[in-house]
């Protein structure tokens, strides 16, 4: 059964380009409620842990370096069918393949610096939300 929460990060490229406001506006206008949010930065070690599932992929080192290169915004979002609806809102991993009107089409620079993260399953949404937020912060 689908739960109603997903997890997102606004990645260093989007934070560095002052796109936080524009991206949060799109998230709110798409009907997501912000449950928890923080502005923070990942160490190399914590970026490696967060993306451990990709440790065998050829781009893992680049991904970890990139995700620890600047500040990010982490958030838990709530909406009916949150995981699938948020993946539709952000668009394809490669912004050149993302549909018009999606966050990555509008704000992403490249497949590596692609503006936002979105959980790919309910199970990972819970794991990723727990990675960043304590139980008290996830009410
Ligand atoms: P995310 O998990 O960040 O929401 P995604 O689910 O669309 O993105 P994944 O396959 O999970 O894509 O890849 C995780 C991240 O790794 C991508 O968002 C991107 O930043 C990076 N990445 C994926 N493929 C490549 C690639 N070929 N070259 C460089 N970086 C890549
Ligand atoms: Mg993914």
pLDDT of residue 36: 97
Q: What is the pLDDT of residue 2?
A: 61
Q: Supply the residue whose CA is at minimum distance from atom 31 of ligand 1.
A: 112
* Per-residue model confidence (pLDDT) at position 32: 98
In this structure, the residue with its CA closest to atom 18 of ligand 1 is 93
Q: Which of 74, 29, 83, 27 is nearest to 47 (CA)?
A: 74
Query: Ligand 2 center to residue 13 CA distance, Å?
Result: 17
Over residues 14-27, the pLDDT tens digits come to 999 999 999 999 99
Structural domains in the chain, CATH included, are: 5-137 (3.30.70.141)
Contact status, residue 50 vs residue 130, Cβ threshold 8 Å: no
* Ligand at shortest distance from the CA of 118: 1
The yes-or-no verdict on residue 1 having pLDDT over 60 is no
- 127 CA distance to ligand 2 centroid (A)? 13
pTM for this structure?
A: 0.96
Partnered with residue 41 across adjacent β-strands are 71
Query: Looking up tokens 């002052």, which residue turns up?
Result: 18
Residue pLDDT, tens place only, 91-131: 999 999 999 999 999 999 999 999 999 999 999 999 999 99
């Amino acid at each position: 059964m689908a739960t109603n929460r997903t997890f997102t990060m606004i990645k260093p490229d989007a934070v560095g380009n002052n796109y936080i406001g524009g991206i949060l506006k799109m998230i709110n206008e798409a009907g997501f409620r912000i449950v928890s949010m923080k502005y923070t930065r990942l160490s190399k070690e914590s970026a490696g842990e967060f993306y451990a599932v990709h440790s065998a992929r050829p781009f893992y080192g680049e991904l970890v370096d990139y995700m620890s290169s600047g500040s990010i915004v982490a958030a838990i979002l709530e909406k009916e069918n949150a995981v699938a609806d948020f993946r539709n809102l952000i668009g394809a991993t490669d912004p050149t393949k993302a549909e018009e009107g999606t966050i990555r089409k509008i704000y992403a620079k490249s497949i590596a610096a692609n503006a936002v993260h979105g959980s790919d399953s309910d199970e990972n949404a819970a794991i990723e939300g727990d990675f960043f937020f304590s139980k008290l912060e996830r009410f």
